[in-house]
Chain A
Amino acid sequence: MIEAKALSKRYGKTLAVDDLSFSVEAGQVTGFLGPNGSGKSTTMRMIVGLDSPTSGTVSVGGHAYSSLRFPLHEVGALLDANAAHPGRRARNHLNWLADSNKIPRTRIDEVLTIVGLTEAAHRRVGELSLGMGQRLGIAAALLGDPGVLILDEPINGLDPEGILWVRHLLRSLAAEGRTVLVSSHLMTEMALTADHLIIIGRGRLLSSGPMADFIEKSAGHHVKVVTPDADALVVLLRDKGATVTVEGPQELSVQGLESRDVGVLSSGAGLTLYELSTQRASLEDAFMQLTHEHAEYQGTTRGPEASRS
Protein backbone atom coordinates (compact mmCIF):
# COMPACT_ATOMS: atom_id res chain seq x y z
CA MET A 1 0.00 0.00 0.00
CA ILE A 2 1.19 3.48 -0.89
CA GLU A 3 0.03 6.52 1.04
CA ALA A 4 0.70 10.16 0.17
CA LYS A 5 -0.19 12.90 2.63
CA ALA A 6 -0.23 16.56 1.58
CA LEU A 7 2.64 15.89 -0.79
CA SER A 8 4.14 18.96 -2.49
CA LYS A 9 7.17 19.50 -4.69
CA ARG A 10 8.44 22.86 -5.84
CA TYR A 11 11.07 23.35 -8.55
CA GLY A 12 12.05 27.00 -8.49
CA LYS A 13 8.84 28.90 -9.24
CA THR A 14 6.87 25.88 -10.45
CA LEU A 15 4.76 23.88 -8.06
CA ALA A 16 4.99 20.48 -9.76
CA VAL A 17 2.99 18.65 -7.09
CA ASP A 18 0.55 20.59 -4.96
CA ASP A 19 -0.85 19.23 -1.69
CA LEU A 20 -1.49 15.78 -3.10
CA SER A 21 -3.04 13.12 -0.86
CA PHE A 22 -4.07 9.67 -2.01
CA SER A 23 -3.73 6.03 -1.12
CA VAL A 24 -3.07 3.06 -3.38
CA GLU A 25 -4.57 -0.16 -2.08
CA ALA A 26 -3.34 -3.71 -2.46
CA GLY A 27 -5.10 -6.28 -4.61
CA GLN A 28 -6.11 -3.99 -7.44
CA VAL A 29 -4.55 -2.14 -10.34
CA THR A 30 -4.56 1.59 -9.72
CA GLY A 31 -4.27 3.77 -12.80
CA PHE A 32 -2.42 7.04 -12.39
CA LEU A 33 -3.65 9.54 -14.98
CA GLY A 34 -3.02 13.13 -15.83
CA PRO A 35 -2.11 15.31 -18.79
CA ASN A 36 1.55 15.79 -19.70
CA GLY A 37 3.39 17.78 -17.07
CA SER A 38 0.74 17.17 -14.44
CA GLY A 39 3.26 15.81 -11.93
CA LYS A 40 2.83 12.03 -12.36
CA SER A 41 6.51 11.25 -12.80
CA THR A 42 7.56 13.65 -10.04
CA THR A 43 5.09 11.96 -7.69
CA MET A 44 6.42 8.53 -8.62
CA ARG A 45 10.01 9.67 -8.05
CA MET A 46 9.03 10.94 -4.60
CA ILE A 47 7.39 7.60 -3.76
CA VAL A 48 10.68 5.79 -4.36
CA GLY A 49 12.78 8.39 -2.56
CA LEU A 50 14.64 9.79 -5.58
CA ASP A 51 13.24 13.30 -5.13
CA SER A 52 12.50 14.60 -1.66
CA PRO A 53 9.16 16.38 -1.15
CA THR A 54 9.19 20.10 -0.42
CA SER A 55 6.50 19.29 2.15
CA GLY A 56 4.27 16.36 3.02
CA THR A 57 5.12 12.68 3.23
CA VAL A 58 4.72 9.52 1.21
CA SER A 59 5.13 5.99 2.53
CA VAL A 60 5.24 2.53 1.02
CA GLY A 61 3.90 -0.23 3.27
CA GLY A 62 4.02 2.20 6.17
CA HIS A 63 7.68 3.17 5.73
CA ALA A 64 9.46 5.98 3.94
CA TYR A 65 11.18 4.36 0.96
CA SER A 66 14.58 5.78 1.87
CA SER A 67 14.45 4.04 5.25
CA LEU A 68 14.16 0.59 3.64
CA ARG A 69 17.08 -1.84 3.58
CA PHE A 70 17.12 -3.90 0.38
CA PRO A 71 13.96 -2.15 -0.90
CA LEU A 72 13.73 -4.23 -4.10
CA HIS A 73 12.11 -7.00 -2.04
CA GLU A 74 9.24 -4.66 -1.17
CA VAL A 75 8.96 -2.23 -4.08
CA GLY A 76 9.64 -2.75 -7.76
CA ALA A 77 9.72 0.38 -9.89
CA LEU A 78 9.94 1.06 -13.60
CA LEU A 79 10.43 4.80 -13.95
CA ASP A 80 12.50 4.98 -17.13
CA ALA A 81 12.99 1.90 -19.29
CA ASN A 82 16.05 3.49 -20.91
CA ALA A 83 17.86 3.59 -17.58
CA ALA A 84 20.50 0.97 -18.36
CA HIS A 85 24.11 1.17 -19.53
CA PRO A 86 24.00 0.49 -23.31
CA GLY A 87 27.30 -1.40 -23.24
CA ARG A 88 26.27 -3.83 -20.52
CA ARG A 89 24.65 -7.15 -21.34
CA ALA A 90 20.99 -7.50 -20.35
CA ARG A 91 21.70 -10.30 -17.87
CA ASN A 92 24.51 -8.32 -16.23
CA HIS A 93 22.15 -5.38 -15.84
CA LEU A 94 19.93 -7.64 -13.74
CA ASN A 95 22.98 -9.19 -12.02
CA TRP A 96 24.19 -5.96 -10.43
CA LEU A 97 20.67 -5.08 -9.32
CA ALA A 98 20.26 -8.54 -7.78
CA ASP A 99 23.64 -8.29 -6.03
CA SER A 100 22.75 -4.94 -4.46
CA ASN A 101 19.78 -6.48 -2.63
CA LYS A 102 21.14 -10.02 -2.09
CA ILE A 103 18.67 -11.49 -4.54
CA PRO A 104 19.83 -14.96 -5.61
CA ARG A 105 21.08 -15.18 -9.20
CA THR A 106 18.58 -18.00 -9.87
CA ARG A 107 15.85 -15.37 -9.68
CA ILE A 108 17.28 -13.72 -12.80
CA ASP A 109 16.41 -16.71 -14.96
CA GLU A 110 12.90 -16.61 -13.52
CA VAL A 111 12.27 -12.95 -14.37
CA LEU A 112 13.88 -13.35 -17.81
CA THR A 113 11.39 -16.15 -18.47
CA ILE A 114 8.48 -14.06 -17.20
CA VAL A 115 9.27 -11.16 -19.54
CA GLY A 116 10.33 -13.39 -22.42
CA LEU A 117 13.92 -12.16 -22.70
CA THR A 118 15.75 -15.44 -22.05
CA GLU A 119 17.00 -15.61 -25.63
CA ALA A 120 18.15 -11.98 -25.65
CA ALA A 121 19.79 -11.98 -22.20
CA HIS A 122 23.32 -12.12 -23.63
CA ARG A 123 22.78 -9.06 -25.84
CA ARG A 124 24.03 -5.62 -24.90
CA VAL A 125 21.31 -3.27 -23.71
CA GLY A 126 22.09 -0.87 -26.57
CA GLU A 127 21.28 -3.60 -29.08
CA LEU A 128 17.80 -4.29 -27.69
CA SER A 129 14.68 -3.00 -29.42
CA LEU A 130 12.45 -0.45 -27.70
CA GLY A 131 10.02 -3.17 -26.65
CA MET A 132 12.79 -5.45 -25.38
CA GLY A 133 14.22 -2.56 -23.35
CA GLN A 134 10.78 -2.09 -21.82
CA ARG A 135 10.61 -5.78 -20.96
CA LEU A 136 14.06 -5.56 -19.34
CA GLY A 137 12.79 -2.64 -17.23
CA ILE A 138 9.79 -4.72 -16.16
CA ALA A 139 12.12 -7.63 -15.35
CA ALA A 140 14.15 -5.31 -13.12
CA ALA A 141 10.98 -4.21 -11.32
CA LEU A 142 9.94 -7.84 -10.71
CA LEU A 143 13.43 -8.93 -9.58
CA GLY A 144 12.84 -8.80 -5.82
CA ASP A 145 9.35 -10.35 -6.08
CA PRO A 146 7.97 -7.15 -4.50
CA GLY A 147 4.56 -6.61 -2.97
CA VAL A 148 4.35 -3.13 -4.46
CA LEU A 149 4.87 -2.27 -8.13
CA ILE A 150 5.19 1.25 -9.51
CA LEU A 151 5.29 1.46 -13.29
CA ASP A 152 5.55 4.68 -15.28
CA GLU A 153 4.30 4.16 -18.86
CA PRO A 154 5.11 0.42 -18.95
CA ILE A 155 3.62 -0.19 -22.39
CA ASN A 156 5.59 2.47 -24.26
CA GLY A 157 7.14 0.89 -27.33
CA LEU A 158 5.42 -2.47 -26.94
CA ASP A 159 3.66 -4.19 -29.83
CA PRO A 160 -0.02 -5.23 -29.47
CA GLU A 161 1.00 -8.62 -28.15
CA GLY A 162 3.29 -6.97 -25.60
CA ILE A 163 0.52 -4.60 -24.51
CA LEU A 164 -1.81 -7.55 -23.98
CA TRP A 165 0.92 -9.31 -22.02
CA VAL A 166 1.47 -6.31 -19.72
CA ARG A 167 -2.30 -6.08 -19.15
CA HIS A 168 -2.46 -9.73 -18.08
CA LEU A 169 0.71 -9.40 -16.01
CA LEU A 170 -0.56 -6.38 -14.07
CA ARG A 171 -3.97 -7.95 -13.50
CA SER A 172 -2.42 -11.20 -12.26
CA LEU A 173 0.01 -9.31 -9.98
CA ALA A 174 -2.95 -7.47 -8.45
CA ALA A 175 -4.91 -10.73 -8.18
CA GLU A 176 -2.02 -12.14 -6.12
CA GLY A 177 -2.71 -9.36 -3.62
CA ARG A 178 0.05 -6.98 -4.71
CA THR A 179 -0.26 -3.21 -4.90
CA VAL A 180 0.05 -2.02 -8.51
CA LEU A 181 0.32 1.65 -9.47
CA VAL A 182 0.59 2.25 -13.21
CA SER A 183 0.58 5.39 -15.31
CA SER A 184 -0.23 5.53 -18.99
CA HIS A 185 -1.30 7.99 -21.64
CA LEU A 186 -3.30 5.32 -23.45
CA MET A 187 -6.84 5.64 -22.10
CA THR A 188 -8.26 2.63 -23.89
CA GLU A 189 -5.54 0.43 -22.39
CA MET A 190 -5.98 1.94 -18.95
CA ALA A 191 -9.74 1.30 -19.18
CA LEU A 192 -9.00 -2.40 -19.69
CA THR A 193 -6.30 -2.68 -17.02
CA ALA A 194 -7.16 -0.51 -14.03
CA ASP A 195 -9.76 -1.05 -11.32
CA HIS A 196 -9.15 2.20 -9.54
CA LEU A 197 -8.09 5.62 -10.77
CA ILE A 198 -6.10 8.51 -9.37
CA ILE A 199 -6.28 11.51 -11.67
CA ILE A 200 -4.15 14.60 -11.21
CA GLY A 201 -3.84 17.88 -13.10
CA ARG A 202 -1.31 20.65 -12.47
CA GLY A 203 -0.05 18.65 -9.51
CA ARG A 204 -3.44 18.55 -7.77
CA LEU A 205 -5.77 15.64 -7.16
CA LEU A 206 -8.75 15.85 -9.53
CA SER A 207 -10.39 12.52 -8.81
CA SER A 208 -9.76 9.29 -6.96
CA GLY A 209 -12.06 6.28 -6.93
CA PRO A 210 -13.21 3.16 -8.73
CA MET A 211 -13.01 3.35 -12.52
CA ALA A 212 -16.74 2.65 -13.10
CA ASP A 213 -17.83 5.33 -10.63
CA PHE A 214 -15.53 7.84 -12.24
CA ILE A 215 -16.87 7.27 -15.73
CA GLU A 216 -20.48 7.35 -14.58
CA LYS A 217 -19.98 10.48 -12.50
CA SER A 218 -18.01 12.41 -15.10
CA ALA A 219 -19.73 11.50 -18.33
CA GLY A 220 -22.77 9.35 -17.46
CA HIS A 221 -24.48 7.19 -20.05
CA HIS A 222 -27.32 7.42 -22.55
CA VAL A 223 -29.69 5.08 -24.37
CA LYS A 224 -29.39 4.74 -28.12
CA VAL A 225 -32.68 4.08 -29.94
CA VAL A 226 -33.11 3.34 -33.64
CA THR A 227 -36.77 3.39 -34.73
CA PRO A 228 -38.83 4.18 -37.86
CA ASP A 229 -41.31 5.98 -35.55
CA ALA A 230 -38.87 8.52 -34.19
CA ASP A 231 -41.21 11.50 -34.11
CA ALA A 232 -43.88 9.70 -32.09
CA LEU A 233 -41.33 8.25 -29.67
CA VAL A 234 -39.70 11.64 -29.03
CA VAL A 235 -43.04 13.00 -27.83
CA LEU A 236 -43.62 10.01 -25.54
CA LEU A 237 -40.11 10.17 -24.07
CA ARG A 238 -40.23 13.91 -23.43
CA ASP A 239 -43.58 13.45 -21.64
CA LYS A 240 -41.77 11.07 -19.27
CA GLY A 241 -39.17 13.75 -18.57
CA ALA A 242 -36.31 12.33 -20.61
CA THR A 243 -33.82 14.49 -22.46
CA VAL A 244 -33.88 13.41 -26.11
CA THR A 245 -31.42 14.37 -28.78
CA VAL A 246 -32.27 13.56 -32.40
CA GLU A 247 -29.11 12.04 -33.85
CA GLY A 248 -30.53 11.17 -37.28
CA PRO A 249 -33.84 10.53 -39.12
CA GLN A 250 -34.29 7.26 -37.19
CA GLU A 251 -31.83 7.58 -34.34
CA LEU A 252 -32.35 9.09 -30.90
CA SER A 253 -30.11 9.56 -27.90
CA VAL A 254 -32.00 9.42 -24.60
CA GLN A 255 -30.82 10.59 -21.20
CA GLY A 256 -32.82 10.33 -17.98
CA LEU A 257 -34.44 6.98 -18.75
CA GLU A 258 -32.96 3.48 -18.77
CA SER A 259 -33.21 1.27 -21.86
CA ARG A 260 -35.73 -0.93 -20.04
CA ASP A 261 -38.09 2.07 -19.59
CA VAL A 262 -37.73 3.04 -23.26
CA GLY A 263 -38.58 -0.50 -24.35
CA VAL A 264 -41.68 -0.72 -22.12
CA LEU A 265 -42.84 2.69 -23.29
CA SER A 266 -42.50 1.98 -27.01
CA SER A 267 -44.10 -1.45 -26.89
CA GLY A 268 -47.04 0.03 -24.94
CA ALA A 269 -47.51 2.55 -27.77
CA GLY A 270 -47.04 -0.12 -30.45
CA LEU A 271 -43.90 1.52 -31.83
CA THR A 272 -41.28 -0.57 -33.64
CA LEU A 273 -37.66 -0.54 -32.42
CA TYR A 274 -34.73 -1.67 -34.57
CA GLU A 275 -32.11 -1.07 -31.88
CA LEU A 276 -32.13 -0.28 -28.18
CA SER A 277 -28.88 -0.13 -26.24
CA THR A 278 -27.21 1.55 -23.29
CA GLN A 279 -24.14 3.57 -24.34
CA ARG A 280 -21.56 4.08 -21.64
CA ALA A 281 -19.00 6.83 -21.99
CA SER A 282 -15.41 5.75 -22.54
CA LEU A 283 -12.70 6.50 -20.02
CA GLU A 284 -11.29 8.91 -22.57
CA ASP A 285 -14.60 10.85 -22.69
CA ALA A 286 -14.77 10.96 -18.92
CA PHE A 287 -11.14 12.04 -18.64
CA MET A 288 -11.65 14.86 -21.14
CA GLN A 289 -14.82 15.96 -19.31
CA LEU A 290 -12.98 16.07 -16.01
CA THR A 291 -9.93 17.95 -17.22
CA HIS A 292 -12.16 20.49 -19.00
CA GLU A 293 -14.16 21.09 -15.87
CA HIS A 294 -11.01 22.44 -14.31
CA ALA A 295 -10.61 25.98 -15.41
CA GLU A 296 -6.84 25.92 -15.61
CA TYR A 297 -6.96 23.63 -18.62
CA GLN A 298 -9.43 25.55 -20.73
CA GLY A 299 -6.94 28.08 -21.97
CA THR A 300 -4.39 25.43 -22.85
CA THR A 301 -6.57 23.02 -24.80
CA ARG A 302 -6.72 23.06 -28.57
CA GLY A 303 -8.45 20.93 -31.15
CA PRO A 304 -11.85 19.28 -31.52
CA GLU A 305 -12.14 18.16 -27.89
CA ALA A 306 -12.32 21.77 -26.78
CA SER A 307 -15.74 22.29 -28.37
CA ARG A 308 -17.30 19.24 -26.77
CA SER A 309 -17.70 20.60 -23.26
Chain B
Amino acid sequence: MTTQLVLPQTALPNTNERLPGVFLAACRSEWTKLRTVRSTMWALVFTVISIIGLGVLLSAIVVGHWDHRSLSEITGFDPLLYSFAGLNVAQLSVGVLGVLVMTSEYATGVIRLTFGATPQRRLLLGAKVLTFSIVVAIVSLISCVTVFFICQAMLASKPAGVSITDPGVLRAVLGGATKMVLIGVIAVGVGAIVRHTAGAVAVLFAVLLIIPGLVQLLPQPWNNDVTLYLPSSAGAAMSAVVRFPNLLAPGPGFLVLLAYAAATIGLAMALLVRRDA
Protein backbone atom coordinates (compact mmCIF):
# COMPACT_ATOMS: atom_id res chain seq x y z
CA MET B 1 0.00 0.00 0.00
CA THR B 2 1.14 3.50 -0.73
CA THR B 3 2.46 5.82 1.92
CA GLN B 4 2.26 8.93 -0.23
CA LEU B 5 1.58 11.88 2.01
CA VAL B 6 1.29 15.03 -0.05
CA LEU B 7 -1.86 15.41 -2.09
CA PRO B 8 -1.32 16.34 -5.73
CA GLN B 9 -3.03 19.63 -6.46
CA THR B 10 -5.53 19.64 -9.29
CA ALA B 11 -7.06 22.67 -10.94
CA LEU B 12 -10.67 22.70 -9.82
CA PRO B 13 -13.64 24.93 -10.67
CA ASN B 14 -14.75 27.45 -8.07
CA THR B 15 -17.61 26.78 -5.72
CA ASN B 16 -19.72 29.75 -6.75
CA GLU B 17 -21.34 27.79 -9.57
CA ARG B 18 -24.77 29.01 -10.65
CA LEU B 19 -27.77 26.76 -10.12
CA PRO B 20 -28.14 25.73 -13.81
CA GLY B 21 -24.55 24.50 -13.66
CA VAL B 22 -25.29 22.61 -10.44
CA PHE B 23 -28.36 21.07 -12.12
CA LEU B 24 -26.44 19.94 -15.22
CA ALA B 25 -23.68 18.43 -13.08
CA ALA B 26 -26.32 16.61 -11.01
CA CYS B 27 -27.92 15.26 -14.22
CA ARG B 28 -24.55 14.01 -15.44
CA SER B 29 -23.90 12.41 -12.07
CA GLU B 30 -27.32 10.72 -12.08
CA TRP B 31 -26.67 9.37 -15.57
CA THR B 32 -23.36 7.92 -14.36
CA LYS B 33 -25.20 6.33 -11.41
CA LEU B 34 -27.92 4.86 -13.63
CA ARG B 35 -25.60 3.24 -16.13
CA THR B 36 -23.17 1.79 -13.57
CA VAL B 37 -25.55 -0.58 -11.79
CA ARG B 38 -26.77 -3.77 -13.38
CA SER B 39 -30.41 -3.43 -12.29
CA THR B 40 -30.89 -0.56 -14.76
CA MET B 41 -29.89 -2.64 -17.75
CA TRP B 42 -31.98 -5.65 -16.70
CA ALA B 43 -35.09 -3.56 -16.02
CA LEU B 44 -34.78 -1.82 -19.39
CA VAL B 45 -34.20 -5.11 -21.25
CA PHE B 46 -37.28 -6.52 -19.54
CA THR B 47 -39.22 -3.40 -20.53
CA VAL B 48 -38.28 -3.73 -24.20
CA ILE B 49 -39.04 -7.45 -24.25
CA SER B 50 -42.46 -6.99 -22.63
CA ILE B 51 -43.53 -4.19 -24.95
CA ILE B 52 -42.40 -5.85 -28.17
CA GLY B 53 -42.85 -9.51 -27.18
CA LEU B 54 -46.35 -9.27 -25.72
CA GLY B 55 -47.56 -7.01 -28.54
CA VAL B 56 -46.34 -9.41 -31.20
CA LEU B 57 -47.69 -12.47 -29.34
CA LEU B 58 -51.19 -11.04 -28.85
CA SER B 59 -51.35 -9.67 -32.38
CA ALA B 60 -50.45 -13.14 -33.69
CA ILE B 61 -53.35 -14.62 -31.69
CA VAL B 62 -55.75 -11.96 -32.99
CA VAL B 63 -54.69 -12.63 -36.59
CA GLY B 64 -55.18 -16.35 -36.06
CA HIS B 65 -58.71 -15.94 -34.71
CA TRP B 66 -59.82 -13.05 -36.90
CA ASP B 67 -62.30 -15.12 -38.96
CA HIS B 68 -64.22 -16.17 -35.81
CA ARG B 69 -64.87 -12.57 -34.73
CA SER B 70 -68.33 -11.03 -34.69
CA LEU B 71 -69.09 -7.87 -36.61
CA SER B 72 -69.35 -5.80 -33.42
CA GLU B 73 -65.97 -7.01 -32.27
CA ILE B 74 -64.50 -6.05 -35.60
CA THR B 75 -66.07 -2.59 -35.75
CA GLY B 76 -65.06 -1.80 -32.14
CA PHE B 77 -61.52 -3.11 -32.65
CA ASP B 78 -58.74 -0.80 -31.50
CA PRO B 79 -55.85 -1.65 -33.81
CA LEU B 80 -53.35 -0.62 -31.13
CA LEU B 81 -54.99 -2.38 -28.16
CA TYR B 82 -53.15 -5.64 -28.80
CA SER B 83 -49.98 -4.06 -30.15
CA PHE B 84 -49.61 -2.08 -26.94
CA ALA B 85 -50.77 -4.79 -24.52
CA GLY B 86 -47.16 -5.09 -23.30
CA LEU B 87 -47.26 -1.55 -21.90
CA ASN B 88 -49.30 -2.85 -18.98
CA VAL B 89 -46.43 -5.13 -17.97
CA ALA B 90 -43.68 -2.72 -18.96
CA GLN B 91 -45.11 -0.02 -16.70
CA LEU B 92 -44.32 -2.32 -13.77
CA SER B 93 -40.64 -2.76 -14.67
CA VAL B 94 -40.28 0.95 -15.40
CA GLY B 95 -42.06 1.60 -12.09
CA VAL B 96 -39.73 -0.64 -10.11
CA LEU B 97 -36.68 0.95 -11.72
CA GLY B 98 -38.05 4.41 -10.94
CA VAL B 99 -38.63 3.45 -7.31
CA LEU B 100 -35.06 2.09 -7.11
CA VAL B 101 -33.63 5.40 -8.36
CA MET B 102 -34.46 6.74 -4.89
CA THR B 103 -34.83 3.77 -2.56
CA SER B 104 -31.57 2.01 -3.49
CA GLU B 105 -29.79 5.14 -2.27
CA TYR B 106 -31.61 5.00 1.05
CA ALA B 107 -30.96 1.26 1.39
CA THR B 108 -27.21 1.60 0.78
CA GLY B 109 -26.68 4.94 2.55
CA VAL B 110 -25.58 6.56 -0.72
CA ILE B 111 -28.29 9.21 -0.26
CA ARG B 112 -26.04 10.88 2.33
CA LEU B 113 -23.23 11.17 -0.19
CA THR B 114 -25.70 12.41 -2.79
CA PHE B 115 -27.07 15.15 -0.52
CA GLY B 116 -23.53 15.90 0.63
CA ALA B 117 -22.45 16.45 -2.97
CA THR B 118 -25.62 18.35 -3.97
CA PRO B 119 -27.26 19.93 -0.90
CA GLN B 120 -29.89 21.57 -3.17
CA ARG B 121 -32.30 18.68 -2.65
CA ARG B 122 -35.23 19.85 -4.80
CA LEU B 123 -32.87 20.53 -7.65
CA LEU B 124 -31.31 17.12 -7.13
CA LEU B 125 -34.67 15.36 -7.34
CA GLY B 126 -35.39 17.37 -10.49
CA ALA B 127 -32.12 16.09 -11.98
CA LYS B 128 -33.00 12.51 -11.08
CA VAL B 129 -36.47 12.86 -12.64
CA LEU B 130 -35.17 14.45 -15.84
CA THR B 131 -32.35 11.95 -16.32
CA PHE B 132 -34.57 8.95 -15.68
CA SER B 133 -37.32 10.40 -17.90
CA ILE B 134 -34.95 10.77 -20.84
CA VAL B 135 -33.76 7.17 -20.49
CA VAL B 136 -37.32 5.86 -20.24
CA ALA B 137 -38.48 8.07 -23.11
CA ILE B 138 -35.79 6.76 -25.45
CA VAL B 139 -36.33 3.10 -24.54
CA SER B 140 -40.15 3.36 -24.63
CA LEU B 141 -40.28 5.30 -27.88
CA ILE B 142 -38.03 2.83 -29.67
CA SER B 143 -40.05 -0.10 -28.29
CA CYS B 144 -43.44 1.45 -29.10
CA VAL B 145 -42.48 2.41 -32.65
CA THR B 146 -40.94 -1.02 -33.25
CA VAL B 147 -43.92 -2.98 -31.90
CA PHE B 148 -46.30 -0.73 -33.82
CA PHE B 149 -44.73 -1.46 -37.20
CA ILE B 150 -44.30 -5.19 -36.57
CA CYS B 151 -47.89 -5.66 -35.34
CA GLN B 152 -49.49 -3.52 -38.01
CA ALA B 153 -47.61 -5.47 -40.66
CA MET B 154 -49.08 -8.67 -39.14
CA LEU B 155 -52.63 -7.21 -38.95
CA ALA B 156 -52.44 -5.84 -42.49
CA SER B 157 -53.22 -9.31 -43.85
CA LYS B 158 -56.66 -8.87 -42.24
CA PRO B 159 -58.62 -5.63 -42.69
CA ALA B 160 -57.44 -4.44 -39.26
CA GLY B 161 -54.09 -2.73 -39.69
CA VAL B 162 -53.65 1.03 -39.55
CA SER B 163 -50.99 3.32 -40.93
CA ILE B 164 -48.93 5.69 -38.81
CA THR B 165 -50.46 8.49 -40.92
CA ASP B 166 -54.06 7.55 -40.02
CA PRO B 167 -55.88 9.96 -37.68
CA GLY B 168 -54.85 9.59 -34.05
CA VAL B 169 -52.33 6.80 -34.66
CA LEU B 170 -49.10 8.73 -34.34
CA ARG B 171 -50.55 10.47 -31.26
CA ALA B 172 -51.35 7.08 -29.72
CA VAL B 173 -47.82 5.74 -30.36
CA LEU B 174 -46.28 8.83 -28.77
CA GLY B 175 -48.91 8.64 -26.03
CA GLY B 176 -47.84 5.09 -25.17
CA ALA B 177 -44.22 6.16 -24.73
CA THR B 178 -45.23 9.28 -22.78
CA LYS B 179 -47.36 7.18 -20.44
CA MET B 180 -44.29 5.11 -19.58
CA VAL B 181 -42.30 8.27 -18.81
CA LEU B 182 -45.02 9.66 -16.52
CA ILE B 183 -45.44 6.35 -14.69
CA GLY B 184 -41.64 6.35 -14.22
CA VAL B 185 -41.74 9.89 -12.82
CA ILE B 186 -44.54 8.94 -10.41
CA ALA B 187 -42.43 5.94 -9.33
CA VAL B 188 -39.38 8.13 -8.58
CA GLY B 189 -41.61 10.39 -6.50
CA VAL B 190 -43.16 7.46 -4.61
CA GLY B 191 -39.64 6.14 -3.95
CA ALA B 192 -38.59 9.51 -2.51
CA ILE B 193 -41.71 9.71 -0.34
CA VAL B 194 -41.66 6.12 1.00
CA ARG B 195 -37.83 5.62 1.00
CA HIS B 196 -38.07 1.81 1.33
CA THR B 197 -38.02 -0.36 -1.79
CA ALA B 198 -40.64 -2.90 -0.74
CA GLY B 199 -43.02 -0.28 0.62
CA ALA B 200 -42.68 1.99 -2.40
CA VAL B 201 -43.18 -0.89 -4.88
CA ALA B 202 -46.26 -1.98 -2.92
CA VAL B 203 -47.72 1.54 -3.06
CA LEU B 204 -47.03 1.85 -6.76
CA PHE B 205 -48.49 -1.55 -7.65
CA ALA B 206 -51.53 -0.85 -5.48
CA VAL B 207 -52.16 2.37 -7.39
CA LEU B 208 -51.69 0.76 -10.80
CA LEU B 209 -53.21 -2.71 -10.26
CA ILE B 210 -55.30 -3.02 -7.11
CA ILE B 211 -57.11 0.30 -6.71
CA PRO B 212 -58.73 0.10 -10.19
CA GLY B 213 -60.34 -3.22 -9.14
CA LEU B 214 -61.51 -1.83 -5.81
CA VAL B 215 -63.01 1.25 -7.45
CA GLN B 216 -65.16 -1.02 -9.60
CA LEU B 217 -66.86 -2.19 -6.39
CA LEU B 218 -68.22 1.31 -5.74
CA PRO B 219 -71.93 1.81 -6.53
CA GLN B 220 -73.00 3.01 -9.95
CA PRO B 221 -72.19 5.52 -11.40
CA TRP B 222 -69.36 6.39 -9.00
CA ASN B 223 -67.31 3.38 -10.03
CA ASN B 224 -67.11 4.46 -13.67
CA ASP B 225 -66.77 8.16 -12.90
CA VAL B 226 -63.85 7.60 -10.52
CA THR B 227 -62.23 5.04 -12.81
CA LEU B 228 -61.96 7.67 -15.55
CA TYR B 229 -59.56 9.67 -13.42
CA LEU B 230 -57.35 6.88 -12.06
CA PRO B 231 -53.71 6.96 -13.22
CA SER B 232 -54.07 3.57 -14.90
CA SER B 233 -57.13 4.66 -16.91
CA ALA B 234 -55.65 8.04 -17.75
CA GLY B 235 -52.57 6.22 -19.04
CA ALA B 236 -54.63 3.76 -21.06
CA ALA B 237 -56.52 6.65 -22.68
CA MET B 238 -53.23 8.07 -23.98
CA SER B 239 -52.40 5.07 -26.15
CA ALA B 240 -55.90 4.33 -27.50
CA VAL B 241 -56.97 5.15 -31.06
CA VAL B 242 -60.62 4.19 -30.70
CA ARG B 243 -62.45 6.18 -28.01
CA PHE B 244 -63.62 3.75 -25.29
CA PRO B 245 -66.63 4.79 -23.17
CA ASN B 246 -64.78 4.02 -19.91
CA LEU B 247 -61.75 6.16 -20.80
CA LEU B 248 -61.09 9.87 -21.14
CA ALA B 249 -60.02 11.31 -24.48
CA PRO B 250 -56.22 11.12 -25.02
CA GLY B 251 -55.58 14.81 -24.28
CA PRO B 252 -57.43 14.92 -20.95
CA GLY B 253 -55.93 11.53 -20.09
CA PHE B 254 -52.45 12.98 -20.56
CA LEU B 255 -53.29 16.00 -18.41
CA VAL B 256 -54.66 13.81 -15.61
CA LEU B 257 -51.56 11.59 -15.55
CA LEU B 258 -49.33 14.67 -15.75
CA ALA B 259 -51.16 16.12 -12.75
CA TYR B 260 -50.55 12.91 -10.77
CA ALA B 261 -46.83 13.06 -11.66
CA ALA B 262 -46.55 16.74 -10.72
CA ALA B 263 -48.37 16.22 -7.42
CA THR B 264 -46.18 13.22 -6.49
CA ILE B 265 -42.95 15.07 -7.28
CA GLY B 266 -44.19 18.18 -5.47
CA LEU B 267 -44.90 16.19 -2.32
CA ALA B 268 -41.57 14.36 -2.63
CA MET B 269 -39.67 17.67 -2.91
CA ALA B 270 -41.44 19.11 0.13
CA LEU B 271 -40.59 16.02 2.19
CA LEU B 272 -36.96 15.78 0.98
CA VAL B 273 -36.26 19.31 2.19
CA ARG B 274 -37.97 18.81 5.54
CA ARG B 275 -36.69 15.38 6.52
CA ASP B 276 -33.24 14.50 7.85
CA ALA B 277 -31.27 12.24 5.54
Contact = CB atoms under 8 A, between A and B. Distances in A.
Interface string B1-44: 11111111111111111110110011011111100111100000
A71 to B, nearest CB: 6
B277 interface: yes
B116 interface: yes
A69 B16 contact: yes
A291 interface: no
Given A101-B117, A102-B25, A114-B7, A73 B39 contact: no
Given A161-B1, A176-B6, A45 B276 contact: yes
A253 to B, nearest CB: 40
Interface in B182-211: none
Interface stretch (B71-79, B104-112, B151-159): B104-112
Interface string A75-104: 001011011111111001001110111111
Contacts of B38: 87
Given A70-B22, A168-B3, A88 B116 contact: no
Given A70-B13, A161-B1, A169-B5, A77 B116 contact: yes
For chain B, which range describes its interface: under 10, 10 to 19, 20 to 34, or 35 or more residues? 35 or more
B276 A172 contact: no
Nearest to A72: B117
B25 A100 contact: yes
Contacts of A88: 33, 36-37
Contact of B113 (A83, A107, A114): A83
Contacts of A113: 2, 4
Contacts of B6: 172, 176
A281 interface: no
A220 interface: no
Interface string B119-130: 110000000000
B115 interface: yes
Contacts of B114: 100
Interface of A: 45, 48-52, 65-74, 77, 79-80, 82-89, 92, 95-97, 99-104, 106-107, 110, 113-116, 140, 142, 144-145, 161-162, 165, 168-169, 172-173, 176
Given A69-B22, A100-B26, A102-B21, 17 more contacts: A50-B112, A50-B116, A66-B120, A69-B18, A70-B25, A71-B15, A83-B108, A83-B113, A85-B110, A88-B33, A96-B30, A96-B36, A100-B117, A100-B118, A101-B25, A102-B17, A110-B10
25 contacts: A49-B115, A49-B116, A65-B119, A68-B119, A69-B19, A70-B15, A72-B117, A77-B116, A79-B116, A80-B112, A82-B109, A83-B112, A84-B108, A85-B110, A87-B37, A97-B117, A99-B28, A102-B25, A103-B12, A107-B12, A114-B7, A116-B2, A144-B12, A168-B5, A172-B6
